[in-house]
Structure 1
Amino acid sequence: MASNSLLSSSSCSWSSILFAALIAVVLVVFVSPAHSTSRPALDRRMIQAGFKVPLKHVDSGGNFTKFELLQRAMKRGKHRLDRFSAMVLAAGDSSEIKSQVYPGNGEFLMKLSIGTPPASYSAILDTGSDLIWTQCKPCQQCFDQPTPVFDPKRSSSFSQVSCSAALCQALPLPSCAAEGCEYLYTYGDYSSTQGVLATETFTFDDKVSVPNVAFGCGEDNEGSGFNQGAGLVGLGRGPLSLVSQLGEPKFSYCLTSIDGTKSSSLLMGSLATAGVGSGGTIETTPLIQNPSQPSFYYLSLEGITVGDTLLPIEKSTFALKEDGSGGLIIDSGTTITYLEDSAFQLVKKEFISQVKLPVDDTGAAGLDLCFTLPSGATTVEIPQLVFHFDGADLELPGENYMIADSTMGLMCLAMGSSSGMSIFGNVQQQNMLVVYDLTKKTLSFVPTQCDQL
């Protein structure tokens, strides 16, 4: 742990943590966006060595206070939770027309280049969806973006995908026009992208070029949900995602703390486990598949401990139901963790019991549970929080679930309640290497100083 860390284990028991409350610990993470009849195989030699992509938070450089950053991210996260839940419920309704509305938004931007010669742009990283897309000329309608809009006519490697191609058929609602396969994706904040499905050469880390990556070339893009970048890169489990198209079974990310100044990282291929074995305890749990939402990364959460108390949460609380509802997903684009309400109320009750501070009921911070800090306090003792996944007991450092702001005189729990689906958010994942192994169908947590990767 860095020398300026605000949290340390109690000398008498690891179940309590000393929390320095007078310096704000913030939850949001700063981190550095001719027709083809068949899709040629990717040149795997280009990615066997793996590559690393810096990430930055979408609100970085916006001159927001730390609590403003948190509140902005929570607003996006709550909206995202609502869309996830609606998608799952719609998928379980056989009478519903399958015109999915995707969660959209996200918290991190990744930089990459597209085309020949390569044109650089930033796109939102999203583990909750599959399609890769960017805005393209000629735009019927485009939102403002910080980089020039991609012009397919200026790239020698651009090729449209035919309607008969497998990747066209992998779209949720493909359509066919004279120029080839077309797509339409709509998002929960009323943003949308519509255009042609094509293949291009994508360049990562300014040196690893991968040809024939399928992506959406959006010519009609509406709304403001993506204007921090120029599109989106899906890292879900479906065939259109970057992970699936690269054919590499492992990827990972490592998210720095909000008070850090260095970028977070996305690591692909052989670099995905670059931080494993450096001393941190590896906790590994199975990735669960939901047939009604095959792109999402579900985990089996079996219990939660606060301090020395294993909470009396019903075993079925986080279980996937037969209709595909319920369960818990891990998501890079949701800021705080949202738990099924019955479980969250038990967590809240136990924190109130163990934290010897008055509860703040003003709602000023926008979080479900906050405490009033005593005047002049330098440290506050908080209980250890442990998530018990199938085969993995994940002990969270204090800054991954409790924040404080001396100017507001508040200390708040970085969690909220949900109805139906639960989400393990990115605040709880900060300063951990989170490794997805799609061959073994596992996910691993490795405590890591992410700014040192």
Structure 2
Amino acid sequence: MEAEQGFSFLSVGTAIFNPSASRTYVSLPCSSKLCRALPVSDCRSGCEYIYSYGDYSSTQGVLATETFTMGEGVLVPRVGFGCGVSNQGEGFQQAAGLVGLGRGPLSLVSQLRIGRFSYCLTRLDETKTSPLFLGSLASLDIMGARALKIRVTTFALNDDGTGGLIIDSGTSITYLEFEGYRLLKQALLSQVNLPLGDGSSVGLDLCFQVPLSPENYMAADASSGQLCGKMMGSSGISILGNFQQQGFHMLYDPEGDNLSFQQTRCDQL
């Protein structure tokens, strides 16, 4: 099914879903394709799952299907989802659930067989919704930029599954493999003619002693009056966090293996 509708996901708090009140809720058996795709499952009572995320949050419950309402009243039947009975982590305290947008068979985009999708995260201090576009509505005008001379192997995905770069809307700051982070840090230092500060109090190592507007790249430490880069070095995996994605239209094209992004006003899309 090719989705032709653009969807806006609204903040719905931590509302509790009651399966017994739904006529379209169906618990999946362990023999189902989606259940077999789970990394960890149990068959004592239907397809029970335990799923963990990179920020150490986790969810445990029953895998099921349900009819979801998206966009302006578009009904999408038999969408697989995890009906969690034990959810741990800050992400589950801020919303009713998480939506998967990866390449795996359990993600929403894989289940809907969508060739491309895009989203645009509004800034944290804004109250407007962040739109999510699926299918043909996911598009933007591509603009070029000067790239740093970082070796291709720096962010390469290894045969054992390590390495690579995750674009994660659930992780706040960006973590880059040390080689790439070092080059990016050098580029920033060459363009920002400001005295360096000590960001150890906030766990960041690229800080400047001047009150500039943080926006996507800097975090203000009120106690010390410093600005610190919202990124850190890492080893083994790199993550592009949501601070750097705010105010950008992010377009994913899994079929074409392309990621495009453009700065924009998300509330005007």
| Secondary structure of the structure 2 residue equivalent to 1:231 | coil
Structure 1 residues 224 and 257, CA gap change in structure 2 (3 angstroms): closer
RMSD of aligned C-alpha atoms? Answer: 3.0
The equivalent residue for 1:248 is 114
Q: Cα gap change, 1:372/1:170 in structure 2, threshold over 3 Å: closer, same or farther?
A: same
Q: 1:416 aligns with which of 197, 212, 232?
A: 232
Max Rg structure: 1
Taking the aligned partners of 1:413 and 1:320, their CA distance within structure 2 comes to: 26
Cα shift readout 1:19-68 (whole Å, capped 9, x = no counterpart): xxxxxxxxxxxxxxxxxxxxxxxxx4xx74313213xxxxxxxxxxxxxx
- Give the secondary structure class of the aligned counterpart of 1:436: strand
Partner AA of 2:6 in structure 1: F
Residue pairs, 1:4-403, within 5 angstroms:
44=1, 48-54=3-9, 110-111=10-11, 121=12, 146-147=14-15, 149-177=16-44, 179-187=45-53, 191-205=57-71, 207-219=73-85, 221-225=86-90, 226-273=92-139, 276-277=140-141, 281-282=142-143, 304=148, 313-361=150-198, 363-373=200-210, 399-403=215-219
* Alpha-carbon offset, residue 181 of structure 1: 2.2
CA distance in 1, matches of 2:153, 2:83: 43
The Cα shift of 1:224 comes to 4.2
Q: Which has the higher contact order (CA 8 A, sep 6+)?
A: 1
Q: Is contact 2:252–2:258 with CA below 8 Å preserved after alignment?
A: yes
**Could you state the TM-score of these two structures normalised by the residue count of structure 2?**
0.84
Q: What is the deviation of 1:252?
A: 0.5
Aligned CA distance change for structure 1 residues 249 and 224 (closer, same or farther; 3 Å): same
AA partner of residue 205 (structure 2): D
Taking only the aligned residue pairs, the percentage that are identical comes to: 52
Alignment CA distance shift 1:316-1:166 (3 Å): closer
Residue deviations 1:257-282, cap 9 Å, x none? Answer: 34444222211222222xx24xxx44
Q: Which letter maps to 2:132?
A: L
Answer yes or no: is 1:448 the counterpart of 2:264.
yes
Between 1:197-206 and 1:233-242, the stretch displaced more is: 197-206
CA contact (8 A) 1:332 1:426 kept: yes
Q: Is the 8 A contact 2:199 2:206 kept in 1?
A: no
Unaligned runs of 5+ in 1: 1-43, 55-109, 112-120, 123-145, 285-301, 305-309, 381-397
Does the C-alpha gap of structure 1 residues 447 and 303 become closer, same or farther in structure 2, counting only changes over 3 Å? closer
Shift of 1:371: 1.2
Given the two structures, how large is their TM-score scaled by the length of structure 1?
Answer: 0.53
| Aligned partner letter, 2:227 | M
* TM-aligned CA deviation for residue 435 of structure 1: 0.9
Query: 1:245 and 1:450 mapped to 2: Cα distance?
Result: 26
The 1:48–1:328 alpha-carbon spacing in structure 2 relative to 1, beyond 3 Å, is: closer
String of CA shifts for 1:77-99, please: whole Å, max 9, x gaps.
xxxxxxxxxxxxxxxxxxxxxxx
Return 5+ residue gaps in structure 2 as ranges: none
